[in-house]
Structure 1
């Protein structure tokens, strides 16, 4: 008899499990006559763990290409500024050189017309001790003036030569940076060509073009114009929580100030894109979160938001923008972006993706 109780308990548990399974089947199967309670509406949520489209390798190449292009562009801007400064300095130096050459020529002309007296003869021709002293002082003054004029002329000429050499160096630097930019542009375009090799480029041709006239406040730069290194160090104010970089926070605030106030999600744990690094945000095209393909006014909202980021790409350090199966790169403009999962999140037809430097 003691062994009967455990058997009965196991039988009761099995009966309960079967009953629960049948109940779930009745709820899930249409036409059973049992009304299923609709699930509660889920809050707006970010796209799944790694749905940025393409592949991790592609995104890494695009990030490297865009970073390299932006770095070369900043270096080119610095070189152009230095070239202008050197050009202005060379103009002033050449003018000074001409003036000092004239002074030396003037002294030489006077000496030629009057004939230079030897030091001894000049002193002996004096008729009194006072005259002797006057002649000695005059000779010293003339010699000092000639020596100073010649030294100034030599220094100015050397400065002009150094400036010309530096100017030539800046021109070479500019050519190098232009070549780097061209190489980075080709790198990005080749990566996209490989990714899009088997895709139908049906979205190209202006389907995501919007308008924007708003100017963003520029993000802080280094004194030389480059972008400072930043880490995921400030709190993400979006529902995603986590951390983002100060530049990503700046871009988020500027977009909201420009009127783009719909749902946004930035930080994301896991994945291979910029979200885990705090350098990316997804801006929903619809008011309440990420849904299906944006159409009508929602599509226009996404178009205009993408246009805002592109207009302010220099101010916000934009690496790239993805929207509606296309990607905008600072080096290449809009390009087809495929190889995604075919859903609205990975196709970026329900949100604008922004990555910053």
Structure 2
């Protein structure tokens, strides 16, 4: 065995330190595929997550339900307070008119000097001196005071109930959003339980599939159709295979239209939003499900570019995809 020279032995620790420093400052080269690849959760993991999410969802829904019941009570109290205020306002207006009339009559007859002030806002401090006018005026003044106090109380109570109602609505909306987020997570986990059919190449692209079954679409398109139908409850039907050779994906069994209205009519605002959600879901899951492009509202999103672009006008609501999102798979 060769023996290192004394000089080499002295330099050995230095070489070790340098090598260690380089190992720290220069990270190991990892293949791109390993960096990009994310471990897929197993069915067991997904089911465990689903169970936990379900418990959280049930708790949030129970809280939401309880808050809805409380809100209904507050709404009832607020409505009752508004009705009491309405009655009190009518009483107040009537008594104020009577009081002003009395003040006007007193002024016209040359009465006390404080009376003209009552022709504007009713001045109870000044009006108090009118007690000397007679029992009738005094009784009217006392009646007005009582009605005024009731009116003030009703107004304050109505405002308090309105404020409470506003706060309850805010709380309920926040609870609703929390529950919706958890429900959305549950839906995402359920989606992941379905493996995407077909062969995926190392570069991320997909091997084409043949159509099959009575619907004449590919297994990959069938999964996308199933997931969207279950998640978004498409109300006006889903059209996929078409025999007409128009150069698109429909005759190949690789495209479906998710209709938001009938007969070429423009969809409602709620259905437009449903279409937006379907398109967003398709884009979010495009890599996993092999979605090639999405067309919606005269725009196209392609997996190759990862962005939307406008399309030329094809002359109609359906032709321009305003009444449905179109989804094509590889």
Q: TM-score range by the shorter chain?
A: 0.3 to 0.5
TM-score (norm 1): 0.38
- Larger helix fraction of residues: 2
TM-score, normalised via structure 2 length? 0.40
